């Protein structure tokens, strides 16, 4: 036995098909899991169910410290994450009215744009050709600054759509940081990195894979950033330039 279709449906509706841990919108790429596993006597009840994305589910069962949320969750913690997220989706966020929610989310958005302005690393990722010349490592510094800010638990939108998009951007940035760390190396020019130019002749296949991974990740970051900005403009009624 597992969860009944009704319980699954209730859990998916309550979560808005977002992952209750990382908050990404998952659509069909979501699973309803047991908080207390069947092996440990967990029930097939709504109370024991938590919708999770595939990545967070994989992390729950392992000690993958490479993932930012890689330490093992307690049952209490999982329930709190879930209940907080369900409340967000239901619009029960403890604040009095819509205006207060918008004001708070504007502050979060302002912080996000401060750490990740459109004309900083984002612009660099849009334009840079990783198959070309080396790039200054400082060009990518916004990613680290944003990443640090993500460790602050208050850095979270109240609005579930915006929060889902922010979570998606965060994940794309994690992958981008990893690609830069794995595929680029200090170049001959001080403070610069590049995909090693000699690879192009010595290991052309390796070179091609590295450049492709970097460009794909860069496109994903910019796409996630643009979706968030478009939705924030619509929902919060402000343009990024108004934030300066
Ligand atoms: Zn997740």
Per-residue pLDDT tens listing for the chain (244 residues): 799 999 999 999 999 999 999 999 999 999 999 999 888 899 999 999 999 999 998 877 654 444 455 467 888 999 999 999 999 999 876 666 778 888 999 999 999 999 999 999 999 999 999 999 899 999 999 999 999 999 898 899 999 999 999 999 999 999 999 999 999 999 988 999 999 999 999 999 999 999 999 999 999 999 999 999 999 999 998 776 655 4
HEC sequence for 14-26? HHCCECCCCCCEC
C-beta neighbour count of 96 within 10 angstroms = 8
Closest Cα to residue 221, out of 163, 175, 158? 175
Tokens, residue 166: 């922010």
C-beta neighbour count of 241 within 10 angstroms = 8
DSSP labels for 93-104? -S-S-HHHHHHH
CATH topology of domain 98-243: de novo design (two linked rop proteins) (1.20.1440)
| Whole-number Å distance between alpha carbons of 204 and 210 | 10
Tell me how far the alpha carbon of residue 51 lies from the centroid of ligand 1, in angstroms.
Answer: 9
Tokens, residue 88: 């967000």
pTM: 0.86
For residue 237, the model assigns a pLDDT of 85
For residue 242, the model assigns a pLDDT of 58
Which residue in the block uniquely carries the two structure tokens 């950033």? Answer: 225
Domain boundaries, the chain: 5-90, 98-243
Tell me how far the alpha carbon of residue 59 lies from the centroid of ligand 1, in angstroms.
Answer: 9
DSSP labels for 175-233? HHHHHHHHH-EE-SSTTEEES-TTHHHH-HHHHHHHHHHHHHHHHHHHHHHHHHHHHHH
Q: Which residues contact 60 (CB under 8 A, 6 or more apart)?
A: 33, 52, 72, 73, 78
Q: Report every protein residue that has its C-beta within 5 angstroms of ion ligand 1.
A: 19, 21-22, 53, 56
Tell me how far the alpha carbon of residue 56 lies from the centroid of ligand 1, in angstroms.
Answer: 4
Strand 30-34 versus strand 135-136 pairing type: unpaired
3-class DSSP assignment, residue 53: strand
Q: Which 8-state DSSP code applies to residue 35?
A: S
Tell me how far the alpha carbon of residue 167 lies from the centroid of ligand 1, in angstroms.
Answer: 9
Is 5-90 CATH 1.10.30?
A: yes
| Whole-number Å distance between alpha carbons of 49 and 12 | 10
| Whole-number Å distance between alpha carbons of 91 and 13 | 13
Tell me how far the alpha carbon of residue 44 lies from the centroid of ligand 1, in angstroms.
Answer: 21
Tell me how far the alpha carbon of residue 153 lies from the centroid of ligand 1, in angstroms.
Answer: 16
Residue 34 buriedness (CB in 10 A; 0-12 / 13-18 / 19+): middle
Tell me how far the alpha carbon of residue 162 lies from the centroid of ligand 1, in angstroms.
Answer: 15
For residue 65, the model assigns a pLDDT of 43
Query: What's the first-to-final CA gap in the chain, in angstroms?
Result: 55
Tell me how far the alpha carbon of residue 188 lies from the centroid of ligand 1, in angstroms.
Answer: 39
């Amino acid at each position: 036995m597992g969860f009944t279709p009704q319980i699954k449906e209730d859990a998916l509706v309550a979560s808005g098909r977002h992952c209750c841990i990382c908050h990404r919108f998952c659509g069909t790429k979501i699973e309803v899991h047991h908080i207390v596993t069947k092996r440990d006597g967990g029930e097939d009840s709504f109370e024991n169910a938590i919708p999770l994305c595939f990545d967070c589910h994989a992390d729950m069962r392992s000690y993958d410290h490479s993932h930012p949320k890689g330490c093992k969750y307690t049952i209490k913690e999982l329930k709190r994450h879930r209940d907080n997220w369900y409340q967000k989706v239901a619009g029960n966020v403890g604040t009095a009215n819509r205006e207060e929610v918008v004001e708070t989310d504007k502050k979060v958005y302002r912080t996000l744009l401060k750490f990740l302005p459109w004309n900083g690393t984002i612009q660099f990722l849009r334009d840079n050709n990783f198959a070309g010349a080396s790039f200054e490592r400082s060009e990518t510094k916004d990613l680290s600054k944003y990443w640090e800010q993500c460790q602050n638990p208050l850095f979270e939108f109240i609005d579930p759509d915006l929060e889902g998009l922010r979570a998606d951007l965060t994940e794309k940035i994690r992958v981008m940081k990893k690609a830069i760390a794995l595929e680029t190396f200090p170049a001959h020019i001080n403070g610069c990195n590049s995909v090693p130019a000699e690879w192009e002749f010595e290991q052309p296949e390796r070179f091609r894979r590295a450049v492709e991974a970097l460009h794909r990740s860069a496109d994903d970051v910019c796409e996630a950033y643009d979706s968030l900005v478009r939705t924030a403009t619509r929902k919060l009624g402000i343009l990024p330039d108004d934030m300066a």
